[in-house]
Structure 1
Amino acid sequence: MARRKLVVLGLLGTTLDAGHGNKRWERWRPTVALTQHEDLLVDRLELLHGKDSAALADTVVADIGRVSPETAVVRHAVEFKDPWDFEHVYGRLHDFARAYPFNPDKEDYLVHITTGTHVAQICLFLLTESRYLPARLLQTSPAHRRDPNEPRSARDGRDPRDGRDARDTNAKSSARLGPGTYAIIDLDLSKYDRLASRFQKEKDLGQSFLKSGIDTKNAAFNELIERIERVAVASRAPILLTGPTGAGKSKLARRIFELKKARRQITGEFAEVNCATLRGDAAMSTLFGHTKGAFTGAVADRPGLLRKAHRGVLFLDEIGELGSDEQAMLLRAIEEKVFYPLGSDRETSSDFQLIAGTNRNLLARSDTARAPTGYEFRDDLFARINLWTFRLPALHERSEDIPPNLDFELEKASRDLGVNITMNREATERFLRFASKWTWPGNFRDFNASVTRMATLSDGGRITEDIVAAEIEHLRARAQPPPPSGPRAGELTARILGAERAARLDRFDRVQLEDVLSVCERARSLSDAGRELFANSRTERTSVNDSDRLRKYLARFAIDFASLKDDIHR
């Protein structure tokens, strides 16, 4: 197996690396010395220095060429206006790390932290710990002076790591320094709890990234995103995202990929497909690829999405729609990283991380659940992808997050339309009152479409209350009419009380209230609703006041009949 290349990144030491004439060889110079170790073969040195140190860099590069001709030196101009300004130095080194083309699959990286100011050394440490620099730390130090008469290599009459000709009389008569010692430090923050706390800000940035920068208020959702961020950074195991259509599974999958990419944890691409669109040979070909002639129309080889996702992320949305053959091949590809392209008798491999999405209950469709024919989902595949399962809530379950999401959608509409889109106060209040109680059956897809329509129809980019009113009527007209009788699985209760408050009700109260609200919805008055609800008991009472009885029942839930009718028909 070929040796992986070793690459060292380090700053030129303007003091430690300095020296002139032959006497410079009597000094320990850390950048030159790190290439003199017989057991540390540096294939490439990435040397960072400022313009004022160009002449010193020339000398150091030339000396490295003498002591270690196998080491290629690449110079980078990195200027520090104030080398003691922590924010400035970190920013410059962070920019370098973000732009550098790391290839951790083929190269190992060390970050030399012996040179540079203390501020620069701390910044290099932080960038390495946070994986912006996918490396280990390298610390070097001088050794005691060596006896000039000690044995050294007779090859070409020169010590191969000393830099001077053995026949140089000046060299023979002077005490010489060796390369010193070095230590490689592999950071493991699990040992340093206090140090780990310094990177809470980095963790918060990762969570904000997964939320597209939206300042969400729902505590349960924020806790969910925090857990997803921890898993995404720490694990390459499959992730299963569940939840209703439009809850944001596809967007979150891509953000997980981008977060891992930014942390240098993956180097490959993001490949995605909605499995509901795959059928027959096309499903096999799309996922696993095919060879030329594998089926009618296969005029050329096709690599497939699993190969595209090599060392990256494969997102299979609606994974429950995959056929049984595709499920079996996918299971083997997850566990063994190998599979057969369609029409081929030769295995191919792909090392990918799977993120799967579904709006169905896969457990209820597994083999063990005896699902109807055509709807089975393999229980062994389900067990394999069920290690990390996260359910994304529907929009109506996060009513407190509607205001920040409205701001996000308005900013997005402004970018898309090239106009600054705003809403006046009255329009904003009316839309938020409606949006916080609307069920949004398509979740964020419906919400985005609603804001886009209002933004497009706005005059000069200003959304008025009239535009909001028209949009509300449009949404109501598109909603499916309610059934003639019977509760609707808590829909009205959630709209009137809000999803979070409705969820806190006992099941008995929720079912009963839902039926009462459905009667109130179609009744013309409080009295009409009361007569229908208490029709049977009316015949057994001498005095009836159905409207007062209903009013008191609604008051238990802080519901007023007049406001209820406004909310239902708004």
Structure 2
Amino acid sequence: MSRKKVVIGFLGSQLDAGGGAGRWEKWRPTVSLGQHEDLVIDRVELMYSPRHQGLAEQIVQDIGNVSPDTQVNLVPMDVADPWDFGEMYGALYDWARAYPFDPAKEEYWAHITTGTHVAQICMFLMVESRFIPGVLLQTSPPRRQKQGDPGSYTLIDLDLSRYDGLAQRFNRAHDEALDFLKSGVATRNQRFNALIEEIERVAVRSQAPILLTGPTGAGKSHLARRMFELKRSRHQVRGEFVEVNCATLRGDSAASTLFGHKKGAFTGAAADRAGLLRTAHEGVLFLDEIGELGLDEQAMLLKAVEEKRFFPMGSDREVSSDFQLIAGTNRDLRRDVAQGRFREDLFARINLWAYTLPGLAQRSEDIEPNVEALLARFSAESGRAVRFNVEAKTAYLRFARSPEALWRGNFRDLLSSMTRLSTLADGGRISTALVEAEIQRLRWLWQAPEDAGTDAPSAVDLDALVGPEVAAQLDLFDRVQLELVVQVCRSSATLSEAGRRLFDRTRTQRTVVNDADRLRKYLMKLGMTWATVRGDTAA
């Protein structure tokens, strides 16, 4: 049993109008629905303004003359201004929510030929969002005006998944966006690729704050700028990308730099200053190292993010700025919240979309494509091609992927390494000798200060770390092991880095690698934490 055909549309106060017998000599879109010999419309839901009551009743009578089996329901829609989008969409939305749609028994065609342009757009949006579960109906007049000629009609299904060509174009645009965020580097790390997949969707769909965490040099600043450029290419932002490292802000200059100030607000404030939040209006504000902000600035930032308004220093009048916030940090803000160094309410606000960028040592399979990309960039900038010979490339990658390569500075270290090799490459060829020298340079760069000289005495005071009673019970084997662990911890920037160095062999034999957790548990057995081992008195 075929479903009934139901047309939903607006009365065309101009196109459907006409009086006397002459009205049959013109094409009227709503009446034409009943004039097609190959089409039977079972019902028409005809929306009209009460001031056009007479015309509406005339249309009902005329459709009855040409298609007696078509039922026409007049739907009065009293909209004061049919060109007001909010008013028109609200009226159509309210009608659709109350209408008893039954897609199993009826198919719905939304007629978009009549009504104001605003009404037609609202009808489109109702179908696209599935509040009206149907397709669009477009009617057109005959090429030559002829009495009784109904013209033509076209159905438009907004389910884009049915259009292979459009789906392919969408997938291509999606792939291009991912490639753009990764700067054209064909990364192989599955975790990183999945991370970028989600970031791409969030970047083009959300205006909410985004938090990027990860070690220094992992690419937070670069990714934030690429996200902004992707949004700008989609016409989602009109303002600028404004970046500031919060670690460089201190005292009055912190609030002044971010929120601006009035002349005379503090000593040295010789003129008004707009501040970076207003500079970022309708754009993106990237606050790197947000954990370094003071508590007062954090409170002001929270208000600016939530309300889009704030007070410049020394001003009693609020200003506004509508920006998207991207924050970056290499700190664990959860710990800072627990220790009172970071506001819990601000952390909750910026933690809606939080992503941790892995360091280069955790993406060893991505070292090779990044090396190739950096060499290509150097070649383009210098005007001379640079490449490894086969043996040199093998030697470099073997070292770069080994546990010995700490990549403490992450991509900054890799960029510096490629710059040195490219600059020194005679004839554009990076030789094995150059690679061996570069490896020695990197080893020196990452060498722990305690390892620089054998004459340096041990600076580990076990009595202070674990207490005299516990220290006295340690075997020589345990004492020597603990002293070495402490030395490695103190020469490492992070718990993860220390864990990689200490478990450099067994980590390769594990399915799930969590060096930081292994080291943390070892320290806990002796009543120590990362902070106490490092001598962090602030903690």
In the superposition, the TM-score normalised over structure 1's length comes to 0.55
Name 2:331's counterpart in structure 1: 360
Q: How does 1:366-515 map to 2 (within 5 A)?
A: 366=337, 369-371=338-340, 376-437=341-402, 438-481=405-448, 485-487=483-485, 488=488, 489-492=498-501, 495-496=504-505, 504=512
What is the CA distance between 1:345 and its match in structure 2?
1.4
Name 2:240's counterpart in structure 1: 269
Are 2:237 and 1:228 equivalent residues in the alignment?
Answer: no
What is the CA distance between 1:197 and its match in structure 2?
6.5
Match of residue 305, structure 2, among 297, 316, 334: 334
What is the CA distance between 1:344 and its match in structure 2?
1.6
Determine the C-alpha separation between the residues in 2 that align with 1:291 and 1:407.
50
Name 1:238's counterpart in structure 2: 209
Distance 1:477 1:276, change over 3 A: same
Structure 1, residues 212-234: CA drift from partner, whole Å, max 9, x if none? 01001111110111011111111
**Paired amino acid for 1:477:** W
Counterpart secondary structure, 1:429: helix
Name 1:42's counterpart in structure 2: none
Contact 1:271–1:308 (Cα < 8 Å) also in 2: yes
**Paired amino acid for 2:512:** R
Contact 1:246–1:445 (Cα < 8 Å) also in 2: yes
Counterpart secondary structure, 1:486: helix
What is the CA distance between 1:301 and its match in structure 2?
2.2
Determine the C-alpha separation between the residues in 2 that align with 1:508 and 1:360.
15
Name 1:302's counterpart in structure 2: 273
Determine the C-alpha separation between the residues in 1 that align with 2:314 and 2:153.
54
What is the CA distance between 1:190 and its match in structure 2?
9.4
Determine the C-alpha separation between the residues in 1 that align with 2:119 and 2:419.
49
Name 2:228's counterpart in structure 1: 257
Structure 1, residues 3-36: CA drift from partner, whole Å, max 9, x if none? xxxxxxxxxxxxxxxxxxxxxxx999xxxxxxxx
What is the CA distance between 1:196 and its match in structure 2?
5.1
Name 1:285's counterpart in structure 2: 256
**Paired amino acid for 2:393:** T
Match of residue 313, structure 1, among 264, 275, 284: 284
Determine the C-alpha separation between the residues in 2 that align with 1:287 and 1:182.
58
Contact 1:427–1:465 (Cα < 8 Å) also in 2: yes
Determine the C-alpha separation between the residues in 2 that align with 1:343 and 1:254.
32
What is the CA distance between 1:192 and its match in structure 2?
9.0
What is the CA distance between 1:299 and its match in structure 2?
2.8
Contact 2:204–2:231 (Cα < 8 Å) also in 1: yes
What is the CA distance between 1:405 and its match in structure 2?
0.5
What is the CA distance between 1:377 and its match in structure 2?
0.3
Q: Which ranges in structure 1 are unaligned for 5 or more consecutive residues?
A: 1-25, 29-38, 40-107, 113-128, 130-137, 148-173, 516-570
Contact 2:245–2:289 (Cα < 8 Å) also in 1: yes
Determine the C-alpha separation between the residues in 2 that align with 1:280 and 1:409.
39
Counterpart secondary structure, 1:204: helix
Q: How does 1:32-431 map to 2 (within 5 A)?
A: 141-143=139-141, 199-366=170-337, 369-371=338-340, 376-431=341-396
Contact 2:406–2:446 (Cα < 8 Å) also in 1: no
Determine the C-alpha separation between the residues in 1 that align with 2:118 and 2:323.
23
CA-based RMSD of the aligned residues comes to: 4.3
Contact 2:211–2:328 (Cα < 8 Å) also in 1: yes
Determine the C-alpha separation between the residues in 2 that align with 1:288 and 1:187.
45
Counterpart secondary structure, 1:199: helix
What is the CA distance between 1:370 and its match in structure 2?
2.9
Determine the C-alpha separation between the residues in 1 that align with 2:319 and 2:260.
10
Structure 1, residues 401-455: CA drift from partner, whole Å, max 9, x if none? 1100000111122233332111111111111011112110010011111111111
Q: How does 1:499-538 map to 2 (within 5 A)?
A: 504=512
Contact 1:339–1:348 (Cα < 8 Å) also in 2: yes
Contact 2:499–2:515 (Cα < 8 Å) also in 1: no
Determine the C-alpha separation between the residues in 1 that align with 2:330 and 2:242.
20
Determine the C-alpha separation between the residues in 1 that align with 2:272 and 2:515.
57
Structure 1, residues 241-288: CA drift from partner, whole Å, max 9, x if none? 000000000000000001111111111110010000001121111111
Distance 1:298 1:250, change over 3 A: same
Identity of aligned residues (%): 58
Name 2:104's counterpart in structure 1: none
Contact 2:500–2:515 (Cα < 8 Å) also in 1: no
Contact 1:493–1:502 (Cα < 8 Å) also in 2: no
**Paired amino acid for 2:423:** T
Determine the C-alpha separation between the residues in 2 that align with 1:323 and 1:204.
40
**Paired amino acid for 1:320:** G
Contact 2:218–2:410 (Cα < 8 Å) also in 1: yes
Determine the C-alpha separation between the residues in 1 that align with 2:420 and 2:177.
32
Determine the C-alpha separation between the residues in 2 that align with 1:503 and 1:418.
44
What is the CA distance between 1:478 and its match in structure 2?
2.1
Determine the C-alpha separation between the residues in 2 that align with 1:317 and 1:109.
43
Determine the C-alpha separation between the residues in 1 that align with 2:306 and 2:208.
10
Determine the C-alpha separation between the residues in 2 that align with 1:486 and 1:339.
51
Determine the C-alpha separation between the residues in 2 that align with 1:508 and 1:297.
47
Determine the C-alpha separation between the residues in 1 that align with 2:508 and 2:335.
26
Distance 1:473 1:145, change over 3 A: closer
Contact 1:455–1:461 (Cα < 8 Å) also in 2: yes
Counterpart secondary structure, 1:272: strand
Distance 1:358 1:188, change over 3 A: farther
Counterpart secondary structure, 2:398: helix
Counterpart secondary structure, 1:460: helix
What is the CA distance between 1:383 and its match in structure 2?
0.3
Distance 1:199 1:505, change over 3 A: closer
